[in-house]
Amino acid sequence: MRLISTMPHTSQRADPPPMASNSALRLPPPCPHLAAYRSGCGGSGLRSLHRCLRRRPPLGRPEVRRDPGEVPRCGACQGGGARLYACLACAAVSCSRHAPDHAAMRPGHEIGVDVDRAELFCAACRDQVYDPDFDAAVVIALTAPAASWAPQTRTGSRAKRPRRVEYRRWAPDADERAVIGRRSGPLLVREGNAYACSTTATVNSTANAATTSSATSSASLPWGLRGLNNLGNTCFMNSVLQALLHTPLLRNYFLSDRHNPLVCQQKTRKKATAKDRNNGRDGAGGLQICLACDLDAMYSAVFSGDRKPYSPAKFLYSWWRYASNLANYQQHDAHEFFICMLDGIHEKEQDPCKPSSHVSSGECCIAHRVFSGTLRSDVTCTICGFTSTTYDPCVDISLDLDSKKNSTKTNGPKHHMNGGVTKSISTGQKSGTSTLMECLDRFTRPEKLGVDQKLFCQQCQVRQESLKQMSIRKIPLVTCFHIKRFEHSSMKKALRKVDQYLDFPFSLDLAPYLSSSILRARYGNRVLASEDYNSDSDASVELVSNLELFAVVTHSGKLDAGHYLTYLRLNSQWYRCDDAWITHVNESMVRSSQAYMLFYVQKILYYKASESLISP
């Protein structure tokens, strides 16, 4: 449509000009709201909007700039209709049905721009409007060089790169703080010892008589507790993701934007382009596999306030691409998925500038900074007493159950609290129950290696029988204990599940299992030059050795037909995460479960995480 105007810089409506009897064109009256906006911004504000516009490939249609993968939605109904308008005064996005309401509630917010077509729209007049300065801004955006809005794909020419090359976290100024204060409300409302959502969401879980007496309403759940849909035998993935989503250190890392997907993709493209350039090929410039980016998107979705179950389909697809040998709908091991996921985060998050010493000490990426610890292995010759010591990094500690205790087939152990001590009231199951402390005692107990496992002694210069003892040299910030419930049966020559219950404490002290404690027990008060013997004081060891349990991944059923679920401890309350269903449970239900993975966090970090669910 061509607009004929006889006066310069006059805004006109998009109504078709009526034809008079004498065939003269009559122009529609100008929009008073657009004229008021122009007078308020000085007349040059619309021309400067070319920085907010871009040419949309491949057809070149103008649109409003947005981040890759961002889908604009109406702020009132969360709908993504065919016409969405961004207010020029506050950048609020509204559909054609709610845009007039937005303009009526806020004077001066009548003019918006179509986010997909870059056309001006007056919400008060409910019609499109035209302005020559805005048309000039559209022309500037369309004629801008491709390097200013598209990623660099050519390697032969040196095009002008964007000015902003390094990510910097946004901090609001005084004016922005005032706007935020006027247009935002509190996300959390403290009610007693629990947090309640300020919005009314739908109920996320149904009643379960065996678990709780009534259904847990989504409004009473802690902030960020959201069910995950089962996408086909993916309970192993959902159970581990629930534990990682509520790991305090990981949660604070991703919610504080320490991993920015845009910067990550830029670094990945730059590395891929340099690699292809060395190989004599042009870079593709597509999105690369990054589990950390998908986990960051999942954190944003889970802590967005939406209580409906979330479907981690994009994360599952990325994990399939990363671990192609596990890309199927079969039931997999939760512990195997946990290790594979940490490796995927490590590959993307590790800093290549840091020396190898940081990698071995667990300071290379967020996954190792949270879960990485160090185990000490002492092998002592039984003839001369020479001891060989090695240190191995680990992200979890695998513990064996007591094979001498045969579990009895019962309906399961039932526990009750008596003075803060949990006692079993199932006598038939008591003989088949192990404790976590017993498993740690067996893990750190000296083990005599067999005759067929003789090791070379550096002092004897021959292979001798020896004793091997494990200990914990460095406790990670978050300790993961893996209970070995799947073992190889020599009789059936196949894997079988160990249906033996484990009694685990909610508060754990690892001081007796540290290398310093074991060395003191072995050598007494003799002065040794060992680094582990004199490294830590009693106060520092007590500070890091006291742990608190916050997540339990359990496995129920048989080996080939089992089910994983997670128990989460938030605000001193326990919640059962069974895929999309979230229910509140008591401590006895957690203790009676068949624990497969136990997640402990250092007590000082647990207390700080309990004070605030989301760090500022």
Residues marked as catalytic: 235, 563
Q: Are 442 and 402 in contact (CB under 8 A)?
A: yes
Question: Which structure tokens are listed for 569?
Answer: 């401890």
Cis, peptide link before residue 505, omega less than 30° from 0: no
Q: Are 471 and 375 in contact (CB under 8 A)?
A: yes
Outline where DSSP puts E strands in 365-500: 373-381, 387-394, 397-400, 415-418, 421-424, 433-435, 447-448, 455-456, 463-464, 466-474, 478-484, 486-489, 494-497
**175, 408, 453, 610 from 501: Cα distances, Å:** 59, 10, 32, 29
**At residue 228, what are phi and psi to the nearest 5 degrees?**
-120, 125
Q: Are 4 and 81 in contact (CB under 8 A)?
A: no
Q: Which of 152, 168, 169 is nearest to 160 (CA)?
A: 152
Question: Which structure tokens are listed for 450?
Answer: 């067999």
DSSP one-letter code for 246: T
Question: Which structure tokens are listed for 487?
Answer: 């073992």
SS3 for 340? helix
What is the Cα–Cα distance from 609 to 542, expressed in whole angstroms?
A: 19
**180, 182, 557 from 186: Cα distances, Å:** 11, 12, 43
Residue 588 CB contacts under 8 Å (≥ 6 apart), including other chains: 414, 415, 416, 417, 422
Q: Strand pairing partners for 120?
A: 113
The amino acid at 93: V
What is the Cα–Cα distance from 135 to 387, expressed in whole angstroms?
A: 81
Q: Determine the straight-line distance between the first and last CA of the chain, rounded to whole angstroms.
A: 51
The helix (H) or strand (E) run that includes residue 271 is helix 261-278
DSSP annotation string for 149-170: TS----SSS-PPPPS--S----
